[in-house]
Structure 1
């Protein structure tokens, strides 16, 4: 009898989570993990959800919880920015052409919900914006000449400790000393600074090859990868393989498609110190993952563009791989092990494609 009474009292505890309403459970445990477009639709469910989604604290929580690649920004052949969504019902932005910015822009790079663009007038200023909220910042003029096609990398990692975006923009620009120098913009100081590090080489950086992974910026040349550590501000050279730079499981990777077999080949950075190992060392710089056969049309890898630089892969980030045949785009989800034809897109091939996360991340100032 006593045991039965204790059991009844236990289940009668109204503080237990099993007595939470379903809408409260979803609000606390599901909403922060949804993309921005889906959240705007959820704001119409009830007044409480609308108020919650509109708060800065929720935006901060969502930017830390949602990290999935949602689509890609690109430049059309007419030069207008546009957005290609992986799921138009779930992912999207209110103004894909970025007309909320004060001048026409070219898309340069992105990082965890923030987009870096460059103006087309005056001194071609850099803009950092969130296409969801239409908030933006215009960066001051750099000290150095970054050239007509700057090799910039945006470094932003959401943090639970910072309610506003703390980011850096790094540019590898040609040096008068026959090499590359590095200029860094910090949102904390709101200023540019040229690093004392110089990479001496007569090689050219591949267009739109820059990426940031775990505190290091990487760029490709025709034969190697330049790695610039943001903490020590030291440069290191890595031997490269065929393909595009990207991220997988939080590590740098390179990916390409073997045209004849249609196998996706992904190699992850294994040991950055293998470059300095003695000869015949067993240490390997790149570790190859099990190859994945892509169930797509053979024509997707038949064009001559496949052999130029990318090795068939336009983008790899997380579990998403994007490749194309001319203006026809295909996506492969390595987690779901499924491929999808995204259709034909009117794209400027020279402008490149930028992966994007549909985030509510906030900036320090509002445009």
Structure 2
């Protein structure tokens, strides 16, 4: 009799899971993989979904589960930012101009749902914000002068084990004490303070401010001469990587370089960062080909308004954004689909990627 009751109990448990309501399956196993805009719309499905989506625990799960590039903030030199969505039905922010911040700002960097912005007044304070939740925090004043257009990188890697959003800012700035030298200042949200590293890089390079990329505890900046400045966060050591060109990003956990070579888009990944230390005459290549994407005409044309040698403006994750045919296009590496997202943008404006996340500050 006891054995029969135990068997019936096990069958009942299995059946209860098997016949769980679809809305409960979606709520418990699917919602966290959706972008923030879709989730805010789904709060109207029922009271149970609304209460669950509004909890900090759900925001924590969603920020770990959803990592896809959702769109781009675009900002001209003098104007407020605007948002270019890859899919307006799924991705968006309630206030693209960021008027919820206490002063007009310039967007400097982004990472997994967080934006780094810099005020235009006073000492030009840094702000970290989530444009979806409109939550923000003002950082203390740096120790060093980062310049009018700082080469700054925001680093935020969500962790299931960490319920507090911990992030870092890394800025490479020209040294005032040493000619042709770059120094590095690091902000840690855990310590809530800035610290200038003891490392100084010497080289006749001028960094491109908006080129910085973080990959596996290493920060990379592209220089005007085509070289790449490398700063190891763990060792706090800097070196120069030769033969760097294109737009820097990260694909499959590696640094990638994406550029146009009409009529194709080319993606290379870094496989050997230490070619500078090898013997002269070594044939070891630091980069390997990952993707070579042939584009349809007329956007692939090398003349008129077609694809040019510097048409790629973004390449990271599964998304490549490029100019072609007088329009801005996005190529999805997974689906191999191309879509036009807007008209041509001013090349002097800032373009920063965004992940539609509910991450809490």
Note whether the superposition's TM-score is higher than 0.5. Answer: yes
**Matching of residue 125 in structure 1 with residue 140 in structure 2:** no
SS at structure 2 position matched to 1:70: strand
SS at structure 2 position matched to 1:349: coil
Determine the C-alpha separation between the residues in 2 that align with 1:50 and 1:316: 35
Q: Is the 8 A contact 1:300 1:324 kept in 2?
A: no
- What is the CA deviation profile of residues 109-129 of structure 1, one whole-angstrom value per residue up to 9, with x for unaligned ones? 100000011101011111110
SS at structure 1 position matched to 2:360: coil
Please provide the CA RMSD for this pair.
2.3
Q: Is the 8 A contact 2:298 2:325 kept in 1?
A: no
- What is the CA deviation profile of residues 39-66 of structure 1, one whole-angstrom value per residue up to 9, with x for unaligned ones? 0011111111000000000000000000
Match among 352, 355, 358 for residue 357 of structure 1: 355
- What is the CA deviation profile of residues 315-361 of structure 1, one whole-angstrom value per residue up to 9, with x for unaligned ones? 0111100012597211101110111111216x443232111100001
Matched with 1:3 is none
Matched with 1:98 is 98
**Matching of residue 229 in structure 1 with residue 232 in structure 2:** yes
Q: Structure 1 residue 12: deviation in Å?
A: 4.4
Q: 1:161 to 1:323 in 2, by over 3 A?
A: same
- 1:13-28 alignment to 2 at 5 Å? 13-14=13-14, 17-28=17-28
Out of 232-241 and 279-288, give the one that drifted further.
279-288
Matched with 1:340 is 339
- What is the CA deviation profile of residues 83-142 of structure 1, one whole-angstrom value per residue up to 9, with x for unaligned ones? 100000000000000000000001111000000111010111111100000000111111
- 1:265-276 alignment to 2 at 5 Å? 265-276=266-277
TM-score, with normalisation over the residues of structure 2?
Answer: 0.92
Q: Is the 8 A contact 1:125 1:139 kept in 2?
A: yes
**Matching of residue 255 in structure 1 with residue 254 in structure 2:** no
Matched with 1:189 is 191
Q: Is the 8 A contact 1:296 1:339 kept in 2?
A: no
Out of 232-241 and 47-56, give the one that drifted further.
232-241
Determine the C-alpha separation between the residues in 2 that align with 1:341 and 1:207: 27
SS at structure 2 position matched to 1:170: strand
Q: Structure 1 residue 284: deviation in Å?
A: 2.6
**Structure 2 residues without counterparts, runs of 5 or longer:** 1-5
Q: 1:76 to 1:352 in 2, by over 3 A?
A: closer
Matched with 2:73 is 73
Dislocated runs of 4+, deviation >3 Å: 6-16, 279-283, 298-308
Matched with 2:136 is 136
Determine the C-alpha separation between the residues in 2 that align with 1:279 and 1:16: 69
SS at structure 1 position matched to 2:149: coil
**Matching of residue 243 in structure 1 with residue 246 in structure 2:** yes
Determine the C-alpha separation between the residues in 2 that align with 1:198 and 1:135: 35
**Structure 1 residues without counterparts, runs of 5 or longer:** 1-5
SS at structure 2 position matched to 1:314: strand
